[in-house]
Amino acid sequence: MLNFLQRFGIFCFLDNNEYDFDKSYDCIAGAGVIQSILSKPTSSLKEIDKFIEVQQDWIFAHLTYDVKNKIEDLHSANPDKIQFPEYLLFVPEIVFILNKNELQIGACKKNPDEIYKAIISSPISKIKKETVPVLQSRFTKEEYIDTVKKLQQHILRGDCYEINFCQEFYANEAVINPLNVYKKLNKISPNPFSAFYKYNNKYLVCASPERFLKKTGNTIFSQPIKGTAKRIFSNVKKDETEKEKLFNSEKERSENIMIVDLVRNDLTKICIEGSVFVKDFLKIYSFPQVHQMISTITGTLKKNVSIADIFSATFPMGSMTGAPKKRVMELIEKYERTRRGLFSGTVGYINPDGDFDFNVVIRSLLYNQSNDYLSLQAGAAITFKSDAKKEYEECLLKITAMQQALE
């Protein structure tokens, strides 16, 4: 099916890799465009509501981190060489749903049998002169450590409590086959919110372990990640020790608790009073590369709350900003050296009933095929107690799987 999708200028493929994360489908994909709405400098999130109301159909979408500027009085002036539009929603020509190895084809005017035959006969995607990109960093280790110390001074002054500080690793003149890289990454690091997304000549190759928001009926929940520990597959006992250390870490627990409070506050803006609660608190999940500390916050939506209302109240996700949200986004703009774009944004789908599921775009490669620019970003939560050297090492740990997929 992935080979078949290559013929479309726009497609979105989402795979949960058989994790049991309140999943609706094993895999879901939308390909081609019947109708779409693209962000403009003057557009607002309310236009998303109008589009959804008119279409009442399957819709796939992305929102970049820079949608924050439509929610708060903020701006983005750092360079962006990937250049995804701030948001895009599209009604696909074809919807693919895979459950228990059974493929369903919907929203398609063509004969499904013809689609099945086309999938089976789709050629393998090839590219000439594929190269192994040489990654560079926007920060030296010393510059990163110095910046973390500056951010800790902001925390000491009371500007913020926690800030997610990200750095970019990039390559110019990178010639890659995005599909092959996605297949390798998904084999190395199969995660529950992985995505392979194409918008014309721009690609997202994503191995995210994190859900942003899911809505089913009038119930909504978020699953922020804060707290990371490496896996040690060569020694089961040591691997379990790393897991226990993560659970008992005062620093990691405090980071997660701060974001839980932020998400609870966001959800109370759109949920019935008294309905927001923490379902799973500081739970440790193990993934192929790392152990993660995840909490689940759920609530019951008020009547007549629209998708634009939901995103306005909750986006960007607290796990990728910090607290208080607006102030840390100002500091992110000041101290980071590239625009985040789709990194720290979200990709997902909305079904005809208005239910939806969106991920957090982390552990991802972003690639602009028109200018051969490749970008990987990684972040760490900075608190006053953070060890800058360890935070730098955490960033390197988080890009390991992507580096391996490029080799």
Q: What integer is the mean pLDDT of 374-390?
A: 94
Superfamily per CATH, domain 2-122+132-406: Anthranilate synthase (3.60.120.10)
User: How does the average pLDDT of the chain come out, rounded?
Assistant: 94
d(CA 11, CA 30): 6
Residues taking part in catalysis: 210, 226
| Dihedral sign (CA 144, 147, 149, 152) | negative
Contact criterion met (CB below 8 Å) for 388 and 145: yes
- What is the percentage of the chain residues whose pLDDT exceeds 90? 84
Nearest to 73 by CA among 290, 330, 407: 330
Q: Over the stretch 160-172, which tens digit does the pLDDT of each residue have?
A: 999 999 999 999 9
> Which tens digits make up the pLDDT trace of 108-161?
667 778 888 888 888 776 666 778 899 999 999 999 999 999 999 999 999 999
Q: Express each pLDDT in 199-256 by its tens digit.
A: 999 999 999 999 999 999 999 999 999 989 989 988 999 999 999 999 999 988 998 9
**Residue 196 and residue 13 in contact, taking contact as beta carbons nearer than 8 Å:** yes
Closest by CA to 285, choosing from 216, 397, 192, 363, is: 192
Q: What is the pLDDT of residues 288-346, one digit of tens each?
A: 889 999 999 999 999 999 999 999 999 999 999 999 999 999 999 999 999 999 999 99
Tokens encoding 98:
């895979």
What is the Cα Rg of the chain in Å?
A: 20
Two tokens, residue 71: 């929610």
Q: Dump the DSSP string for 236-281.
A: HHHHHHHHHHHHH-HHHHHHHHHHHHHHHHHHHTTB-TT--EEEEE
Which tens digits make up the pLDDT trace of 46-71?
999 999 999 999 999 999 999 999 99
Q: What ranges do the domains of the chain cover?
A: 2-122+132-406
Q: How far apart are CA 342 and CA 67, in angstroms?
A: 10
Residue 383 has pLDDT above 90, yes or no: yes
Dihedral (Cα; 100, 206, 188, 97), 10-degree rounding: 10
Contact present, 125 and 133 (Cβ < 8 Å): no
